[in-house]
Every structure is written in C-alpha cells, then in structure tokens.
C-alpha cells in the first residue's frame, strides 16, 4: 500500500513557525506562574497558620422512636441512611452526642480565638485544632448573637501566630479576597473571589453588617476569616444564600470593624456594652420626603421615642436624623450601627431636620436593653405537657425599638431555647418575637400558653418577627 503525499495536509513553513511560537508561549505560561499567583501563594502560606478548626460537641439527646419507620436496624434502607444520611424530610432520631465543625482564627498570640456564635452555641465542649494539628480545650469568653461573633480562649504552650484586622470601611467592591476555612471538615481549604457588595443587611438584626463575596463558602467555613490581598482579615465568614445548601457564589462575612468592636468588648468582661438611643426609626421614602419638605430621601425618620430613654425630651416624632457624631446617616440601617458601637455614657451630637430646619442636638448614649435583660421574668412556654421548648418574655417598648419591631406588632420574645426542642429544630432563635401560633395571637406568655393548649394542628404554623421581618415556620408540638 502506498500513501500519496497529496492525501496529507501539511502545514506551510510559516504555519509551523506560528504553531511552535504559540506552543512555546503556552508552555511558558503554564510553566511560569505569574507574579499575582506567587503573591497569592505567599499570602496563603503566611496567614494559614492563624486559621483554626472549631469542634463543638453537644451532649447526647435521647429521642424516642415513634414507630417502625424510625428503627434503622430493621428499616429496609437503614444501612443506606447510616452511610449517607437520610433524605430531606426524613425525621431521623438523634442518637449519641452531636458534633459540629466550624472555622476560626487566632486573634492574638495569647490564645484568643474568634469564630461565629452559631458555631459554639449550646456546645457542651469546644475543641480548637490548630493548623499543625495540635488540639486544645477552649472556653467561651463571650458571644454576641446579634452579630454572630464569639471569642474563645485556649492555653497554648507558646505564643501563636495571630492575624491582623483590617479596615473593612476602606475595602472596595471588586477587590480580590481570600477565604480560608474547613468546609465539610476539609481543613485549610483556600478559595478566592472578589468583594461583590458592601453594607449588606441579611435580616440578622440591626447591629450586623456584611460584606458579600463570591469566594466559595460552604458548611464548615462559618467563623473563618476573609482576607484582603494584604493578608488582613476584613470579615468573618458567617452565612451563605443557597437553595441547594452548597456554595452558589453568595457568601456573607461580618465586617472586621464590627468584629474589632465586639471582640474588644467581649475580652473586657465577656459582655457587650452596646449604645442605645431609644427611638423607633424608618427610611425616608420619596413620598415621605415630599411630605416633610425634604429634597432628598436620606436620613432616619423618628417614628417613636421610648419613654425615659436617652432620646426622651431631646428627639421628637417626625425628626429626621441626618448625622450622628459627624458620621452621615444615609438611611435608617446606618443609625443602629453607629449608636451601637458608641461607648455607653458618651456625649453625642446629632444633626436633625425638624420642621424644615437643621438643628444640632446633644444627648448622652445609654445602655441598650436586651430582651434577656428585661424586668419581666422569663416564662417557660409549656402547658399540660405540651411544649415548644422556649423561654419567652413580654415584648417591651425598649426591646421593640432595639429589634426594629413595628408598633403594630405584638408578641413574646424568645430568650432561650432547649437545644433539642421543637422550636430549635424548626430554626427559631433567641431574639425572635413569636407573633402568632396557629390562628391565635400571642401578645403575652399567657396567650402563648393558651394557644399551645388549644392548638390541634401538628406541626403548628408559627408566625415570628425577626429583625423587623415577618416569617412563618412550622413547629412540631410535643
């Protein structure tokens, strides 16, 4: 058999040269990392020793089986469920202690560790594992559920490598960021992305502000650091938005400036001293601006003033707060952050618009009153063996103003939850306001008890107010 040369498509000499040049260029690109790649690798190598794994364990909870479908040994898919977990909606009994994994970072060389409140909440024991696999028992110095920040303390034999907190106010949208943590228990996992947005409010309360990033964040990243390209922590990874439960490029980190304030306060005495004005506020809509004679929809409109609060006798309904201590208040969400991070007892100056005229008013910042610090005694919501597993207290005007609950909303504030309770399993949190159970309003602890006693539907439909937003949850009644 012969092969004719005409049957072969041979490149011209110039084509060979071009292909060779292109191949050489591709090889050079592949073989030689860019300066940006080297800088990223150097950054990761430098900061990784400061990132830790948090292992939080809860005591075993005995959950009685409710029928043969809960007997894994005899269930036809019992072995499958043991190996891979039950499908969504399948009510699995919890046997043995529960263990959760999260991330954190070394705040200072003496062994202070930062993580998320929700990572260590209700934990009976907490272990911190360093990047070199050394492990230490940790104690909780203090936590702040309103910003989802917790400070732990370990006792290392030698000084640890600590991170540097950056200024989250100066980071710009579009800047490169690096997240390091332990998604699904895979320690020291590095993901990169950009700052997608700043100043995000994701209904976590009035005192938390978030950086949005498209760096991949998954289960287990909670509490880990978000770095800028200088190796500074500019956020603590806390939440994701995901229909599937995995990363879809919508991650949220508590800003480092809030973290700095909260951790300093917690290390001082384990408690948060948060400034308080005592006003209910709302945004200035274009319609309200026209009615008030304001050129722009800016500032925070005072809709109510709490009696005997720092603002009582100083601010009035209808005032528009334009600035606080020379910091602009562009909308109502700015003010709680500014006031909350102000030291109690500080003399402060507010610029307000009243009757079309700007005025400067002075007042002394008070101590915010949390729901758990109210004078009304908490009440365990339990009737005739029927229970949600929550402790509640009446919604006071102080708590209403602090949590952003509107005047038309009444209910009881959740001050505590049992870890294995129906309410906890349904996703209720401390600070939630229970507005309705079934068709009955729950304006007081007694009303909640009455609603529980008469509720015939299981699970029950419960309406709660969280950070000013109304949501329904289905709670099993036991």
Name the residues annotated as catalytic: 118, 148, 222
Neighbouring CB atoms inside 10 A of 324's CB total 23
Is residue 412 within 8 A of residue 423, CB to CB? The reply is no
Is residue 431 within 8 A of residue 145, CB to CB? The reply is yes
Q: What is the SS3 assignment for the chain?
A: CCCCHHHCCCCCHHHHHHHHHHHHHHHHHHHCCCHHHHHHHHHHHHHHHHEEEEEEEECCCCCCCCCHHHCCCCCCCHHHHHHHCCCCCCCCCCCCCEEEEEEEEECCCCCEEEECHHHHCCCCEEEEECCCCCEEEEEEEEEECCCCEEEEECCCCCCCCCCEECCCCCCCCCCEEEEEECHHHCCCEEEEEEEEEEEECCCCCCCCCEEEECCCCCCCCCCCEEECCCCEEEEEEEEECCCCCCCCCCEEEEEHHHHHHHHHHHHHHCCCCCEECCEEEEECCHHHHHHHCCCCCCCEEEEEECCCCCCECCECCCCEEEEECCEECCCCCHHHHHHHCCCCCCEEEEEEEECCEEEEEEEECEECCCHHHCCCCCEEEEECCEEEEEEEEECCHHHHHHHCCCCCCCCEEEEEECCCCHHHHCCCCCCCEEEEECCEECCCHHHHHHHHHHCCCCCEEEEEEECCEEEEEEECCC
- Cα maximum dimension of the chain: 106
Distances (CA, A) of 109 to 105, 166, 167, 262, 268: 11, 17, 20, 18, 17
Rg of the chain over Cα atoms, rounded to whole angstroms, equals 27
Question: What are residue 339's phi and psi, to 5 degrees?
Answer: -75, -40
């Amino acid at each position: 058999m012969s092969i004719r040369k005409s049957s072969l498509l041979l490149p011209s000499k110039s084509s060979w040269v071009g292909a060779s040049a292109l191949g050489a260029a591709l090889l050079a690109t592949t073989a030689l990392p860019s300066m940006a790649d080297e800088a990223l690798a150097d950054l990761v190598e430098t900061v990784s020793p400061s990132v830790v794994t948090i292992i939080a364990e809860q005591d075993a909870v005995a959950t009685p089986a409710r029928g043969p479908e809960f007997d894994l040994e005899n269930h036809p898919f019992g072995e499958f469920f043991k190996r891979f977990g039950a499908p969504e909606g399948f009510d699995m009994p919890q046997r043995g202690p529960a263990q959760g994994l999260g991330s954190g970072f070394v705040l200072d060389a003496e062994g202070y560790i930062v993580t998320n409140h929700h990572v260590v909440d209700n934990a009976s024991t907490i272990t911190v594992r360093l990047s070199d696999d050394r492990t230490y028992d940790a104690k909780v110095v203090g936590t702040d559920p309103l910003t989802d920040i917790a400070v732990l303390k370990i006792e290392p034999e030698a000084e640890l490598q600590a991170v540097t907190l950056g200024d989250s106010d100066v980071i710009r949208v579009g800047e490169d960021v690096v997240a390091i943590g332990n998604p699904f228990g895979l320690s020291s996992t590095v993901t990169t992305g950009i700052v997608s947005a700043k100043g995000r409010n994701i209904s976590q309360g009035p005192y938390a502000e978030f950086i949005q990033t498209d760096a991949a964040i998954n289960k287990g990243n909670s509490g880990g650091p978000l770095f800028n390209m200088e190796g500074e922590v500019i956020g603590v990874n806390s939440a994701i938005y995901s229909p599937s439960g995995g990363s879809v490029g919508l991650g949220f980190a508590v800003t480092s400036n809030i973290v700095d304030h909260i951790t300093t306060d917690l290390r001082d005495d384990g408690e948060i001293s948060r400034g308080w004005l005592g006003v209910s506020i709302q945004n200035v809509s274009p319609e309200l601006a026209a009615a008030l004679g304001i050129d722009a929809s800016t500032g925070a409109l005072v809709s109510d003033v709490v009696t005997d609060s720092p603002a009582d006798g100083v601010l009035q309904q209808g005032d528009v707060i334009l600035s606080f201590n020379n910091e602009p208040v562009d909308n109502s969400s700015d003010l709680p952050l500014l006031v909350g991070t102000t030291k109690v007892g500080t003399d402060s100056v507010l610029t307000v618009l009243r009757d079309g005229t700007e005025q400067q008013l002075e007042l002394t910042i008070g101590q915010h009153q949390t729901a758990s610090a109210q004078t009304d005694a908490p009440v365990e919501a339990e009737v005739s063996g029927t229970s949600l597993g929550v402790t509640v207290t009446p919604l006071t005007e102080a708590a209403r103003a602090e949590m952003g609950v509107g005047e038309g909303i009444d209910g009881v504030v959740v001050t505590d939850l049992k870890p294995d309770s129906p309410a906890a399993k349904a996703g209720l949190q401390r600070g939630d306001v229970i507005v309705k159970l079934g068709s009955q309003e729950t304006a007081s602890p007694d009303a909640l008890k009455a609603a529980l006693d008469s509720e015939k539907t299981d699970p029950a439909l419960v309406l709660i107010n969280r950070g000013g937003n109304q949501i329904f949850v289905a709670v099993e009644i036991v």
